[in-house]
């Protein structure tokens, strides 16, 4: 595919469209009285060339799996993205005036409430990971022609997450990915640290495995050529490093500080007039529509619904199996039944047991190395447009590294499944840096999330199966130590449905535990029984949603006396989840046992006792609660 210089008319049209996009960015932010017109202006030519010369887009079905992907990582430039789609013909240009209004989905930052947006952006530094995930799927699974483009701000390129993703893209030779850096020199509150040192950007990107091109970001011809070069570059992703100016072509605003995130106010009319003067064609001539993806090699039709384990759990009651191991087993079984089940891990696959999938389907395992932000972002990208069912694993506590990505995942309406092993003090000697003790709090606070905390191997396998079929962010918390199988292989587990695992008509107190603490509850109940105290025990299975009905009903049956015990800090975990479902109930008292402080290294059983969550402490809590 040799390069043909575009005709003069094409070049002029692209220039004109860039100015029209600038004008829309001004008028829409004038209407909303907030927004970032100057950050739009720096990418006006980039957007014009992308949308009206490069991208293959399906206006009838913007999420066509075979069309090119575009991610605006610098989400605050949303107005120009909306303007580009409007100029492309997806919706009326006058709708742009609804920017940021309460009843418009043209929000301050893009979200998939809009049918042409794949992921929410606006928290910076996340777009490249998502784009890399899409590109990985396009190259390795879909094996289709579509390409992935992402526009990154220079300010956000200070985010380490960007460099994780660039390294990932370089390592996996994602030549269907093109990252465009908008180097407009100015951050929010001062110039960026690298300002217009284009050569430093070039050196860094070259060293990170990219074909790196420095261009004048306001020269549409250079951009057309660079994007063509990107499309024919093999075995390497391309970085187009565009030297631009914030507020370009805005007189007395261009390249000046203190214009970040501000509408132009009383300068708007003058600037618009100036821009109109720069337009050579008719100011209201309709743009040619974007190219179509119809002639590209199409992405295959895939079905990621209704995925089942290839065989039911196969354990003996009482068998000692770690839930983290059951996760690996179930993951492999799911993968056997659907070739779009994939696993991603951050170099912990032999601890989380995601390597069980790699062993049977090596091509469906994506090693993301020790870079959890990119790990989460790649998974979110891979799951876009329902191309894959992605399971992401690492130690539970290392997901704290990707909290912002997971948070944005919820805004992005992602369906990614996160599996965190090595929760709590029960991991033992490795010590507090490796212990997940805030992971439930984190994942519960993700809107629309489902939080599984399986206690045995059977329920863990079912959790994996359920997660694969559940919308939104799912989190499965797995444990390092072996625990006894307590459920039959055919027992039915369901989201929001707990199980009463021990009961008698004489019960005086309700114990709630999960993972290793469920067994501490059972041991405590057995011990208490010897002294004539009868305790009912519930396994909640999912912490969110929590089975309110079961807890209220059984709690009431034992006189409103509840003990909750968890291998997690006090805040935001199982205990507070139980308190939330009991909030509007009178006559309940809850005794909550949790890890009260930073733990330390030591044998698991010693730590469980030292930090107050062993059977001995449950027994003491029961004695206390019987007095309340």
**Distance between CA atoms of 612 and 604, rounded to whole angstroms?**
12
**Distance between CA atoms of 139 and 168, rounded to whole angstroms?**
14
How many alpha carbons lie under 13 Å from residue 170 in its C-beta half-sphere?
16
Closest approach of its own copies to the CB of residue 160, in Å: 3
Closest approach of its own copies to the CB of residue 564, in Å: 9
Closest approach of its own copies to the CB of residue 457, in Å: 22
Closest approach of its own copies to the CB of residue 212, in Å: 11
Q: Give the residue from 153, 147, 156 showing the smallest Cα distance to 178.
A: 147
Which residues are CB-contacts of 32 (< 8 A; sequence separation ≥ 6)? 99, 100, 101, 108, 263
- Among the listed residues 45, 87, 159, 372, the single catalytic one is 372
Catalytic annotation present for 229: no
Q: Which residue has the tokens 């605003």?
A: 253
Handedness of CA 231, 378, 81, 268 (dihedral sign): negative
Which residues are CB-contacts of 204 (< 8 A; sequence separation ≥ 6)? none
Q: Which residues of 12-44 are buried (b: 16+ CB within 10 A; e: fewer)?
A: ebbbbbbbbbbbbbbbbbbbbeebbbbbbbbbb
**Distance between CA atoms of 102 and 114, rounded to whole angstroms?**
14
- Taking the least distance from each CB to its own copies, the nearer of 228 and 592 is 592
Q: Which residue has the tokens 């013909």?
A: 89
In what helix (H) or strand (E) does residue 509 lie, and over which residues does it extend?
strand 509-513
Which residues are CB-contacts of 273 (< 8 A; sequence separation ≥ 6)? none
- Taking the least distance from each CB to its own copies, the nearer of 108 and 313 is 108
Q: How many residues does the chain have?
A: 628
- Taking the least distance from each CB to its own copies, the nearer of 120 and 290 is 120
In contact, 510 and 578? CB cutoff 8 Å? no
Closest approach of its own copies to the CB of residue 167, in Å: 7
In contact, 497 and 547? CB cutoff 8 Å? yes
SS3 264: coil
- Taking the least distance from each CB to its own copies, the nearer of 32 and 148 is 32
- Taking the least distance from each CB to its own copies, the nearer of 442 and 622 is 442
**Distance between CA atoms of 556 and 536, rounded to whole angstroms?**
12
Closest approach of its own copies to the CB of residue 367, in Å: 7
Work out whether strand 542-544 and strand 482-484 pair parallel, antiparallel, or are unpaired: unpaired
Beta partners for residue 215, in sequence order: 242
Closest approach of its own copies to the CB of residue 401, in Å: 4
Beta partners for residue 181, in sequence order: 152, 241
**Distance between CA atoms of 184 and 428, rounded to whole angstroms?**
50
Closest approach of its own copies to the CB of residue 579, in Å: 4
- Taking the least distance from each CB to its own copies, the nearer of 158 and 302 is 158
- Taking the least distance from each CB to its own copies, the nearer of 65 and 247 is 247
- Taking the least distance from each CB to its own copies, the nearer of 334 and 608 is 608
Which residues are CB-contacts of 584 (< 8 A; sequence separation ≥ 6)? none
Instruction: List the catalytic residues.
Output: 372
């Amino acid at each position: 595919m040799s390069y043909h210089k575009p005709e003069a008319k094409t070049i002029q049209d692209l220039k004109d469209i860039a100015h029209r996009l600038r004008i829309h960015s001004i008028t829409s932010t004038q209407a909303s009285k907030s927004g970032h017109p100057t950050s739009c202006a720096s990418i006006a030519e980039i957007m014009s060339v992308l949308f009206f010369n490069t991208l293959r887009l399906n206006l009838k079905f913007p999420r066509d799996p075979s069309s090119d992907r575009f991610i605006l990582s610098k989400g605050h430039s949303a107005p120009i993205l909306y303007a580009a789609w409007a100029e492309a013909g997806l919706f009326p240009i006058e709708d742009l005036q609804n920017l940021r209004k309460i009843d418009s989905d043209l929000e301050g930052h893009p979200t998939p409430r809009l049918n042409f947006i794949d992921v929410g952006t606006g928290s910076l530094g996340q777009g490249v990971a998502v784009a890399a995930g899409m590109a990985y799927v396009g190259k390795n699974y879909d094996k289709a022609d579509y390409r992935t483009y992402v526009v990154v701000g220079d300010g956000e390129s200070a985010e380490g997450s960007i460099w994780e993703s660039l390294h990932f893209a370089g390592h996996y030779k994602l030549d269907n990915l093109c990252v465009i850096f908008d180097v407009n020199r100015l951050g929010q509150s001062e110039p960026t640290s690298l300002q217009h040192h284009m050569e430093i950007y070039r050196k860094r990107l070259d060293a990170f495995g990219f074909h790196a091109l420095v261009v004048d970001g306001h020269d549409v011809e250079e951009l057309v050529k660079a994007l063509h070069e990107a499309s024919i570059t093999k075995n390497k992703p391309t970085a187009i490093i565009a030297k631009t100016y914030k507020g370009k072509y805005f007189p007395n605003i261009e390249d000046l500080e203190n214009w970040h995130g501000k509408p132009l106010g009383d300068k708007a009319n003058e600037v618009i007039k100036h821009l109109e003067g720069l337009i050579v064609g008719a100011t209201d001539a309709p743009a040619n529509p974007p190219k179509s993806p119809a002639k590209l090699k199409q992405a295959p039709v895939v079905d990621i619904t209704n995925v089942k384990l290839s065989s039911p759990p196969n354990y003996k009651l009482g068998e000692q199996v770690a839930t983290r191991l059951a996760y690996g087993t179930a993951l492999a079984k799911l993968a056997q039944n659907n070739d779009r089940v994939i696993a991603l891990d951050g170099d912990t696959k032999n601890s989380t047991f995601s390597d069980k999938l790699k062993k049977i389907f090596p091509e469906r395992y994506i090693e993301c190395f020790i870079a959890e932000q990119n790990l989460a972002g790649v998974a979110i990208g891979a799951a876009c447009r329902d191309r894959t069912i992605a399971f992401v694993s690492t130690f539970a506590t290392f997901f704290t590294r990707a909290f912002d990505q997971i948070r944005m995942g919820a805004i992005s309406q992602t369906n990614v499944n996160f599996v965190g092993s090595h929760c709590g003090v029960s991991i033992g000697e490795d010590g507090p840096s490796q212990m997940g003790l805030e992971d439930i709090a984190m994942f519960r606070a993700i809107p629309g999330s489902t939080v599984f905390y399986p206690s045995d191997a059977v329920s863990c396998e079912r959790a994996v199966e359920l997660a694969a079929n559940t919308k939104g962010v799912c989190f499965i918390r797995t444990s390092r130590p072996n625990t006894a199988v307590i459920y039959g292989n055919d027992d039915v587990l369901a989201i929001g449905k707990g199980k009463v695992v021990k009961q008698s008509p004489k019960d005086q107190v309700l114990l709630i535990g999960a993972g290793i603490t469920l067994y501490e509850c059972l041991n405590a109940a057995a011990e208490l029984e010897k002294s004539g105290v009868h305790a009912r025990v519930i396994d909640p299975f999912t912490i969110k949603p929590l089975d309110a009905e079961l807890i209220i009903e059984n709690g009431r049956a034992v006189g409103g006396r509840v003990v909750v015990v968890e291998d997690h800090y006090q805040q935001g975990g199982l205990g507070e989840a139980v308190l939330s479902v009991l909030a509007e109930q009178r006559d309940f008292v809850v005794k909550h046992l949790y890890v009260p402080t930073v733990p330390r290294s030591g044998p698991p059983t010693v730590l469980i006792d030292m930090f107050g969550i062993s059977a001995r402490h449950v027994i003491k809590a029961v004695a206390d609660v019987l007095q309340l």
